[in-house]
Amino acid sequence: MHISEGVLSVPILAAGAALTVGFTAQGLRSMKAEDVPATGIVSAGLFVASLIHVSLGPSSVHLLLNGISGAILGWAIFPACVVALFLQALLFQFGGLAVLGVNVMDMAFPGLIFGALFRLLFVSRGKWALLLGGFLCSAGGVILTALMTAGVLALNGEGFMAAAKLIVWAHIPVALIEGFVGAMAVLFLAKVRPDMIGRKQGELL
Amino acid sequence: MKKIAATLALMVLLVSPAWAHKVCMLSSFEGDSITGEAYFSTGDPIVGSPVTVESNGEEIGQGKTDENGAFSIAIPKGVLSAKVTINAGMGHVAHEDIAREGAPEPSTATEPQAKATAETSVPGVSLEDVKKAVASEIAPVKKMVMDMERAQSKPDMPKILGGIGYIIGIVGAFMWGRSKRV
């Protein structure tokens, strides 16, 4: 989900950049020294996820992994996303430097929300709650990202309903795939590193 | 450690068959029209997307890509440079600025020259025939250039590994900074 360079007007770009700076500062403040390696690994995951590509008729969509990233990192998803998207813009010319702020908000904010929901509602309620939560939050992250992207394009002048329909439809298969990936990832983490989703060893399974 | 290695290996395996998207376009002047091709960085053609042509800030033509991602848009005579824009939807847009390089515009400026060549040329061979012959001769070269552009627009393994390397470096720098402060 990358909006290209030269699509959005300057006020939208500025607003996106300002929000991203604020949220990233909060993310950096919240990070403890022991969170840094996890943030790096998630950042690498976000960086490669955009290369996992689902070909769908005329459009081209890819995995985001923002829901599961938010569940692991919380606020630190912002610095992770900034690094990942900056490198994608630089190395692959996906998105661009001027739209970096908007693209980071589109991706990291749903991750933050659904990650928090996951930790609040689904953790510590048994294996099935974990699987369901992993699925719903990963899929939800993708859908909210699609809606936010549509919203940004709408602010810029494209009709919201048309843009939203197109983007959400295109992302339903991605949401389903991500849901499965997210559920598997959560189960794996609960077994191996429950501290990464906020619990001590033995508390979850 | 083994698990991290396994995860990384899995990532690399997952990545190899499928690359993500960026809008790419190649276009050029051809007589009184602009022709070109649009595709995602995966190499898939962009089908049925609007293409517009602007010159000096004014729209002078528009069209759509066909099922192969190709487009051809008629433009008024006398246009020497243009900005071609493709909108593949969902915020995916690419621009290209093109100009008639070197060669002056065929229909107006070359008239006297065309007359001169017509006088000296072999009877029975018209300028149109020559143009067609040249076009068919350079078609394979054009295709080769397009294929090369396509190959270049895909993210390749060194860039992917380089990106991961940057991230490891940033993590290292960050941890180093934190450890010095304590």
Number of C-alpha atoms within 13 angstroms, CB side, residue A122?
25
Q: Which of B18, B171, B178 sits opposite A53 (nearest CB)?
A: B18
User: CB of A161 within 8 Å of any CB in chain B?
Assistant: no
Q: Give dist(CA B40, CA B38) in Å, integer.
A: 7
Instruction: State whether A55 and B18 contact (CB < 8 Å).
Output: yes
CB contact at 8 A, A153 and A42:
no
State residue A103's pLDDT score.
92
CB contact under 8 A, A94 and B168: no
Query: Is pTM beyond 0.95 here?
Result: no
Give, in order, the Cα–Cα distances in Å from A141 to each of A30, A155, A165, A190, B62. Answer: 21, 21, 17, 20, 37
Position B17 pLDDT exceeds 50: no
Give the other-Cβ count within 10 Å of B165's Cβ: 13
Query: What's the average model confidence in pLDDT over B152-159?
Result: 76
Chain A residues within an 8 Å CB radius of B94:
4
Q: Please provide the DSSP assignment of B81-114 as one string.
A: EEEEEEE-STT-EEEEEEE--SSPPTTTTTHHHH
Under DSSP, the state recorded for B121 is S
B15 touches chain A (CB under 8 A): yes
B2 interfacial to chain A (CB closer than 8 Å):
no
Residue A78: pLDDT over 90: yes
Using a CB-CB cut-off of 8 Å, the residues of chain B touching A37 are 171, 175
Residues A107-143: tens digit of each pLDDT: 999 999 999 999 888 887 788 888 999 999 999 999 9
Taking the CB of residue A39, how many other CB atoms lie within 10 A of it? Answer: 25
ipTM for the predicted complex comes to: 0.75
Please give, rounded to a whole number of angstroms, the shortest distance from the CA of A61 to a CA of chain B. 7
Coil, strand or helix at A61: strand
> Is any Cβ of chain B less than 8 angstroms from the Cβ of A92?
yes
Query: Is B139 or A199 the better-scoring residue by pLDDT?
Result: B139
> Which one of A17-21, A120-124, B8-12 scores highest in mean pLDDT?
A17-21
Chain B interface includes A45 (CB < 8 A): yes
Q: Which of B57, B104, B114 lies closest to B77 in space, CA to CA?
A: B104
Write the pLDDT tens digit of every residue in B65-85: 888 888 888 888 778 888 888
Strand A59-62 and strand B81-87: the pairing is unpaired
Q: Can you tell me the distance from the alpha carbon of A183 to that of B66, in angstroms, rounded to the nearest whole number?
A: 40
Kindly state whether B160 is in contact with chain A, defined as any CB-CB distance less than 8 angstroms. yes
Closest by Cβ to B48, choosing from A58, A87, A163 = A58
Residues of B in contact with A2 (CB under 8 A): 21-22, 91-92
pLDDT band at B12 (very low <50, low <70, confident <90, very high): very low
